[in-house]
Structure 1
Amino acid sequence: MPARPSRRTLLLAAAVALTATAATACGGGGDTADGSSGRVTVRIAYQAIPNADLVVKNQRLLEKALPDADVKWVKFESGGDVNTAVIAGAVDLGLAGSSPVTKGLSAPLNIPYKVVWIHDLIGDNEALVAKPGIGSVKDLAGRKVATPFGSTAHYSLLAALTAAGVDPSSVRTVDLQPQDALAAWKRSDIDAAYVWTPTLSELAEDGEVLISSRELAEQGKPTADLGVVTDAFAAEHPEVVTAWIKAQDAAVAQARTAPDTAAKSIGAELGLPADEAKRQLSQLVLLSAEEQAGPAYLGTPGAPGGLAANLRDAALFLKGQKAVDSVPDEAVFGRALAVEELARAAK
C-alpha cells in the first residue's frame, strides 16, 4: 500500500488549492476577473474561540466597512495550521496563539508576518484536564496527554510540567486537535488533554482541571491569541488592515458593554446557547485598541511594548524544548509588532 499522506501534507495541499482558487477568483493581485482594477479579496483565518473575532465575523462588521472587498473567512483548528496556511500563501490575516506566532517568527519558519492585534489574553478558557483519579500535574509522569502541537496549549502544557518538576520526556504527549482529543478521551485512549473551549467544557464534565492558563500566566508564563497580517498584505492594502482593526475594536467594545448581544453572535458561530457563550467569553481578557497601544502590550511607533519580551521568553522556552532552532533577539519580535498599523487605526 502507498504511504498515507500526513495531515500536515494534506493541509498544505488544501491551502495551496485555496490560494489558486482565490487568485483565479480575483484575477490575481486583487483585480477583477476581467483584469480591471477592482475588488480586493481578503482571506481571514479564524478559529472556534469565543472572543470578539467571532462577533466581527457573525455581524459582518468588516464586510460592512469594506463593501467593495470580498471577505473570505476560513476556519482552522489551531495556530500551527494557520502558520502552514500562511506559508502556503492561502491567508492574509488570521488568528494564532502566541506560541505558534513565536514559532512563526523564529527559525526555521521565519514567516514574514506581524502581530497587528491581541484577540485575547488566555485565561480559564484553556486548561489541562485529567481523568478522575489523577489529582495533580505530577501524576502525569508515564501517562498519555493530548494537545495540538505548536499551539499555546502545547506551550502551556510544557510549562506546567516543568513547573511541577515533571520531565516532559516522561510524558507520552500526542498531537491531537481539540475535537480529536475529545474523541480519544471518550475512548479512554488518553489520560489527560490540554485544550481550549468549547472542547475544554466537554472534557471538564467528567474530568478534573489540574491547572489553567490563567494560573500559568500568574506564574510568569502568559499566553494570548494574536491577530497576524502578512507583511505583503499590510504593505499593499493598509486600508483593509485599518478597517479590520477598527472592526475588532468595535467588537471588543460590544463584548464589554453589551455582552448579551456579543454572546448571541458567538453562540451562533459555535453552536452554543447564548448563556454558555457568555460564560466562555467571560473567561478571556479582551483589550481595546487604546489598551493594546500601551507599554505592556503592542506599544507605539518607536516604543515596542512588552509583548516583544513575552514572545522572546516563549522562544527561549521553546528552544529548550527543541521546538525552535534558535531564539531571535528581542528586537526581531519588536519589529514584528504592527504598532504603526495600530496607531493609524486609532486616528
Structure 2
Amino acid sequence: MTLHRTPSRSHPRSFARRAVAALAVVGLLGLAACSSDSSADGDGNGDGKKIPLTIAYQNIPNGDLVVKNSGWLEKALPGYEIEWKLFDSGGSVNEAFAGGSIDIGLAGSSPVSRGLSAPIAYKVPWIHDVIGSAEALAVQDGITSITDLVGKKVAVPFASTAHYSLLAALETAGVDPTTVDIIDAEPDAIAAAWSQGSIDAAYVWNPVLAQLVSEGATILTDSADVAASGKTTYDLAVVSTKFATDHPEAVQEWVAQQSRAVELYRSDPDTWAKAVGAELSLDPVEVLDQAAGLIFLTAEEQAGPEYLGGGLGTNLVATASFNLEAKSIDAVLDKDAYLSAVYPDAVDAVAKG
C-alpha cells in the first residue's frame, strides 16, 4: 500500500472541518443510519421490522471480537438487525460517525478526544481495554534511543492512540516531532512497508506489532511506558448520542455482553482466545500473548471513580489539551464537553444487576 504524508482520510485538521460538514448533512438527513424509535425490546420497531444497529470494530485482541464471534449480542437483542463493519483505525471510525453510518464503534482515547473536539455527537459507555505493551514503538536495527529517530521515517496511523503515544514519547525525550519523518499509514500498510524495508520504525498495535517483532523489530518503548509518564491511553467504545438516547436498553445489553467477555477472559482464557483467534486467524496461544499487553475491566470495575466514574473524563480533557499543543486539533472545547461525553449509565446498571 502507498504511504502518504497528507492523508485524504484522517489528517486531524482536515478531519475536523470534514466532520463538521458531514454532521450538518447528517442533521438534514435525520440520521438515517440510526433508528428514531425508542423501543429496545424484542419487537423491534413495533411494526415487525428490526431496528438497525451498525457496529464498527477493529482487529484488536479484546472482548469485542469475542462478542462478535460468539453472536452473543444477536441472541440478546433479537429485535435488532446487527451489522458489524471492520475499520482500520479510530480516525476512520470518527469519519464514519461524522457521516452517520454507524451507531457503536471502537476508537482509541486520542481519536475520541479529537472527535469530541470536532465535535462529533457521541458518548463513551465502555472501556474495551487500558493499553499497555500491546501498542509499541518498533524499530529497525541500529536505532537504540528515541533521539536516534531524528531524520528517520516512522509510520503510525494518524489520529490514533499510537500517534498520540508516539508524540508523547518524542516530547518526553526532548525530540521535536518536525525533525522526524512521521508518515501516516494504517496497520496493514505498516506491515507491508516493514517487510519491504521502506520504514525505519513504526508505532502500532497487535496483531501487526507482533508481526513486526517476528520479522526482527526491536521494541524501543511502549504505551505502558508512556502511561507511566502520565499519558494513559485506552481503546474505548463510542455510541452515537442519538442511539444512546433512543435505545438505552440496547446500549445496556451491549455493555452486559462486553462485560461477559471480560469475565470469560478471566475464567476461561482458552475459550476466549479461540473466539478472538477465529477473528484474527491466529493461534489461541498467540492471542493470549498479545492480549497480555492490555488490561480488561468488568462493568463493576469501570463504574468506579478511576474510570467511567470520573477518571476517564479527566483523561479525555488532558488528551485534548495535548493534541492542541501538538497541533493535531484546532481548539479544545470547554472541559464539560469531554466530561459529559462519558456515559456511565450502562455500566452502572450492569454492575448493579
Q: Give the TM-score, by structure 1 length.
A: 0.89
Q: 2:93 matched to which residue of 1?
A: 82
**1 CA distance for matches of 2:154 and 2:255?**
37
Q: 1:240 matched to which residue of 2?
A: 250
Q: Cα RMSD (Å) of the superposition?
A: 2.6
Matching of residues 209-288 of structure 1 within 5 Å: 209-288=219-298
**1 CA distance for matches of 2:224 and 2:7?**
33
Give the CA deviation at 1:259. Answer: 0.6
**1 CA distance for matches of 2:124 and 2:115?**
11
- Alignment counterpart, residue 326 of structure 1, candidates 326, 331, 346: 331
Change (3 A) 1:153 1:274: same
**1:91 is the counterpart of 2:96:** no
Contact 2:316–2:339 (CA under 8 A) maintained in structure 1: no
DSSP 3-state at the match of 1:145: strand
- Alignment counterpart, residue 44 of structure 1, candidates 31, 49, 55: 55
Q: Name which structure has the greater RCO, CA cutoff 8 Å, separation 6+.
A: 2
Matching of residues 72-151 of structure 1 within 5 Å: 72-106=83-117, 109-151=118-160
**2 CA distance for matches of 1:306 and 1:219?**
16
Percent of pairs identical after alignment? 49
- Alignment counterpart, residue 293 of structure 1, candidates 298, 303, 309: 303
- Alignment counterpart, residue 170 of structure 2, candidates 149, 161, 175: 161
Give the CA deviation at 1:23. Answer: 5.6
Q: 1:8 matched to which residue of 2?
A: 9
Where do 5+ consecutive residues of structure 2 fail to align? 1-5
**2 CA distance for matches of 1:127 and 1:6?**
22
C-alpha distance after superposition, 1:251-279 (max 9, x if no partner) = 11001111111000000000000110111
* Range with greater deviation from structure 2 (337-346 or 71-80): 337-346
**2 CA distance for matches of 1:278 and 1:217?**
22
- Alignment counterpart, residue 69 of structure 2, candidates 49, 58, 75: 58
Aligned residues: 328
**2 CA distance for matches of 1:231 and 1:182?**
35
C-alpha distance after superposition, 1:107-148 (max 9, x if no partner) = xx1000001000000011100001011111110001110000
Contact 2:274–2:284 (CA under 8 A) maintained in structure 1: yes
**1 CA distance for matches of 2:253 and 2:78?**
11
**1 CA distance for matches of 2:48 and 2:94?**
30
Residue identity matched to 1:74: K
Give the CA deviation at 1:329. Answer: 3.1
Residue identity matched to 1:95: L
Q: 2:319 matched to which residue of 1?
A: 314
Give the CA deviation at 1:327. Answer: 1.8
Give the CA deviation at 1:8. Answer: 2.3
Q: 2:201 matched to which residue of 1?
A: 192
Where do 5+ consecutive residues of structure 1 fail to align? 300-304
